[in-house]
Structure formats: C-alpha cells, structure tokens
Amino acid sequence: MKKTVIAAVRDSRVLDSSCLDSIDTVFLLSTNIIELAQTILDTHQNGKEIFVHADFAEGIGKDKFGMEYIKSLGADGVISTRAGVIKAAREIGLKTVQRIFIVDSQSIETAIDSTRASKPDMIEIMPGVVPKVIAAMKSRTEIPLIAGGLVSTLDEVNSAIQAGAIAVSTSNTDLWK
C-alpha cells in the first residue's frame, strides 16, 4: 500500500472509472462468487492491489476453504470483522485487514484483544473520522492502521493521517484523485 487513499468500491463497474488512476489499492466491499474472478483480473490488469471484503463475498465460505478460494483467484488480501476469517487468511498467506468498529471506549479494549489474537497485517478503524480513536489505537498497537467510514473531505483524510493512520479508505471518488 503506497498511497494514502484507498478506493472503497461497492460496485465493480466503478473499476473502469478514470477516477481510479490516482490510487494503488482497491477494497472490494461487495461481490459474489460469479463476478469475483473477473473483478480481480480487471483490477490487476489496471495495476491495482485488491482486497476482498470476505464478510460480504456472497457464495464464498467465511472459513479456510473460502479464503483459499479467494487466494486462488489472485486476490492480494481480505478484509473482515471476524478474527477467525483473518486467522484463516493469514495462515494461507493472504494479506489481512481487520475492520474494527469503535462505538465507545470499551470498543478500543475489545479491538486490542481481538487483533492480538488474530494478528492482522493492518487494522481498519471505523468510522475513520475520529482522529482521537486512531491516536489511541496507534499508541497501543504496532499494527498499521487504516481509517475508513464517513470520510468525505480532504481535511478528514489529513486528520486521520496526522493522527497515525497509514491510509484512508473511502468511497468518495473525488478523494481518489
């Protein structure tokens, strides 16, 4: 992951968009077993890295075999809120992003415990517009942090990066440029 903005894509048709020219990484947030192989191929042909949100990949198991299938299609990594999915993906060599939703101060403690057990490559903090939470997580873990969710302005991107995130995922195509 080189650039600080990640394209969070819900519709694979967006992958044909010129607004993707300025990004290196795609988080595919919605897909299915029929479309996934072609989407991965198209993304790689455009020189982009692709992470598949395993929790929302319809028709694909949320287990070791599902992760092996995603890997066999050529995905660079997976995203999940589930520690078991993250562990299974890591065991077969996929890069992993564990999505964490922070709703209160206890969520931070739960997130730390969960990520210590699953050992993801990166953690995506949601919502990503809370630099205070990003800074708190950054001070308690060595795992690189990505801010995601509700990020809609360049100021919010910059605030997340200044708070310690290595990147920001957003579906706002204006920020992909």
Instruction: List, for residues 123-172, the tens digit of each pLDDT value.
Output: 999 887 789 889 999 999 999 999 998 888 999 999 999 999 999 999 99
Task: Identify the pLDDT of residue 26.
Answer: 94
What average pLDDT does the structure give for the chain? 92
* Long-range Cβ pairs for the range 146-152 (8 Å, 24+): 146/6, 146/97, 146/122, 148/6, 148/8, 148/27, 148/99, 148/124, 151/127, 151/175
pTM of the model: 0.87
Over residues 79-86, the mean pLDDT reads 96
Q: What is the pLDDT of residues 33-54, one digit of tens each?
A: 999 999 999 999 989 999 999 9
